[in-house]
């Protein structure tokens, strides 16, 4: 009997992704995968879909797309402090393009190997290019990192730099003033857009140290707001402390600030923790952890204007509207 077309395609192109972990009892090839959860863990599950012309450009490098498709899912595991374990892949393709599939699967295999996550199921259909990945990770039963546990006087921290991906997107749309940027800067910004680096290592170290965490996928203000709403808290932000890359620093400060506050696709972590625990994390991850503000009992998000007055963020957003 012939194997199903999905099975053949997945086996042919994604084989490198399908064999490794000992906790996979039955992998790809049967009706279901059978997976063994380690003792004292729960399973964290998340799913993300990328659709051509909505989430990525039709001409994007398929190797980079393979990386991004898994990276955005890994980032959700990172935000929960979960250890990546398994993923499934649903691929809708307009045609069987051998070259595209080879490159896409190579990118996917590269990031999967880096995070020790195994492909345990797949489905392929014909249609407009769409990539859906569901990830599964392990979280310790005794301490689950969520959005709803921020406490007053917690410091608000972010990992890495913000706004790069949004600047890369503006470049792709022909909307970025590139006067001061070198080709290397532009390639860096595009890499941040097309190949984000999920912070799983830091995420797992936040367990027991951070009170609340989220990954920054829709822009810092929007994502921090999820923490504040879930925790019934507010925030005072120091916009001058927003971490910018060397490339972003070459843009006008107001523009870089706007990109960092509202641009999407950063896939950095935003978390809240006590002063002491932030010091521990900074010691562990040094220049990767940046304090950008403080959690307040009073709700709302505020920043200090040039006159030192605290102002609600609606104002700063309105002021920067011409960049939107």
154: contact with Mg ion by CB under 5 A: no
Q: Which is nearer to Mg ion, 76 or 154 (CB)?
A: 76
Q: Which is nearer to Mg ion, 124 or 272 (CB)?
A: 272
Q: Which is nearer to Mg ion, 215 or 266 (CB)?
A: 215
What 3 state SS string does 76-120 have? Answer: HHHHCCCEEEEEEEEEEECCCCHHHHHHHHHHHHHHHHHCCCEEE
Could you give the angle at which helices 5-14 and 98-114 cross, rounded to 10 degrees? 60
From the list 72-80, 129-137, 239-247, 253-261, the region that binds Mg ion by CB under 5 A is 72-80
For residue 172, report the phi and psi dihedrals to the nearest 5 degrees: -60, -30
CA distance 32 to 189: 40
Q: Which is nearer to Mg ion, 195 or 214 (CB)?
A: 214
Q: Is 59 annotated as a binding residue?
A: no
Q: How far is the CB of 76 from Mg ion (least distance, A)?
A: 4
Q: Is 218 annotated as a binding residue?
A: yes
Q: Is 287 annotated as a binding residue?
A: no
265: contact with Mg ion by CB under 5 A: no
From the list 89-97, 144-152, 171-179, 209-217, the region that binds Mg ion by CB under 5 A is 209-217
Question: How many residues contact Mg ion, by CB under 5 A?
Answer: 2
Q: Is 154 annotated as a binding residue?
A: no
Q: Which is nearer to Mg ion, 73 or 118 (CB)?
A: 73
Bridge partners (DSSP) of residue 90 are: 123, 132
Q: Is 61 annotated as a binding residue?
A: no
Bridge partners (DSSP) of residue 91 are: 124, 131
- What are the strands of the beta sheet with 155-159, ordered from one edge? 210-216, 268-273, 155-159, 289-296, 234-237, 300-304, 310-312
The answer to whether 204 touches 262, Cβ cutoff 8 Å, is no
The answer to whether 269 touches 215, Cβ cutoff 8 Å, is yes
DSSP for 31-73 reads SS-EE-PPTTEEEEEEEEEEEBTTTB-TTS-HHHHHHHHHHHH
From the list 71-79, 118-126, 195-203, 301-309, the region that binds Mg ion by CB under 5 A is 71-79
C-alpha distances in angstroms, 160 versus 12, 219, 286? 37, 14, 11
Q: Is 31 annotated as a binding residue?
A: yes
Please give the DSSP secondary-structure letter assigned to residue 244.
-
215: contact with Mg ion by CB under 5 A: yes
From the list 15-23, 75-83, 174-182, 280-288, the region that binds Mg ion by CB under 5 A is 75-83
Q: How far is the CB of 77 from Mg ion (least distance, A)?
A: 9
Q: How far is the CB of 80 from Mg ion (least distance, A)?
A: 9
266: contact with Mg ion by CB under 5 A: no
Give per-residue burial for 3-15: e unless 16+ CB within 10 Å, then b. Answer: eeebbebbeebbe
Among 24, 27, 66, 76, binds Mg ion (CB under 5 A): 76
Q: Which residues are annotated as a binding site for substrate?
A: 55, 265, 320
Residues lying near Mg ion in the complex (CB under 5 A): 76, 215
Please state the residue numbers annotated as binding site for Mg(2+).
31, 46, 48, 76, 123, 215, 218
Bind-site residues: 31, 46, 48, 55, 76, 122-123, 147, 215, 217-218, 265, 320
């Amino acid at each position: 009997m012939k194997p199903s077309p999905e099975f053949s395609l997945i086996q042919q192109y994604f084989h490198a992704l399908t064999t490794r972990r000992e906790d996979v009892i039955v992998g790809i090839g049967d009706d279901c995968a059978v997976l063994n959860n380690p003792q004292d863990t729960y399973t964290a599950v998340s799913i993300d879909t990328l659709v051509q012309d909505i989430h990525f450009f039709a001409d994007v490098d398929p190797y980079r797309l393979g990386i991004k498709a898994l990276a955005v899912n890994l980032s959700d595991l990172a935000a929960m402090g979960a250890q990546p374990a398994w993923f499934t892949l649903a691929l809708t393709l307009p045609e069987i393009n051998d070259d595209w599939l080879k490159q896409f699967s190579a990118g996917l295999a590269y990031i999967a190997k880096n995070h020790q996550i195994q492909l345990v199921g797949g489905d392929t259909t014909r249609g407009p290019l769409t990539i859906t990945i569901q990830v599964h990770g392990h979280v310790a039963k005794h301490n689950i990192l969520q959005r709803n546990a921020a406490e007053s006087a917690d410091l608000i921290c972010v990992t890495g730099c913000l706004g790069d991906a949004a600047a890369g997107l503006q470049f792709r749309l022909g909307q970025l003033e590139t006067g001061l940027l070198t080709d290397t800067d532009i390639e860096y910004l595009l890499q941040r857009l097309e190949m984000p680096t999920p912070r799983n290592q830091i995420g797992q170290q936040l367990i027991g140290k951070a009170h609340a965490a989220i990954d920054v996928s829709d822009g810092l203000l929007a994502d921090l707001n999820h923490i504040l709403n879930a925790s019934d808290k507010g925030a005072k932000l120091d916009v001058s402390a927003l971490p910018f890359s060397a490339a972003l620093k070459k843009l006008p400060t107001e523009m870089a600030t706007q990109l960092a506050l509202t641009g999407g696709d950063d896939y950095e972590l935003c978390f809240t923790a006590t002063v002491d625990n932030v010091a521990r994390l900074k010691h562990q991850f040094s220049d990767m952890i940046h304090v950008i503000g403080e959690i307040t009992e009073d709700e709302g998000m505020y920043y200090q204007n040039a006159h030192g007055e605290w102002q609600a963020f609606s104002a700063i957003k309105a002021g920067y509207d011409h960049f939107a």
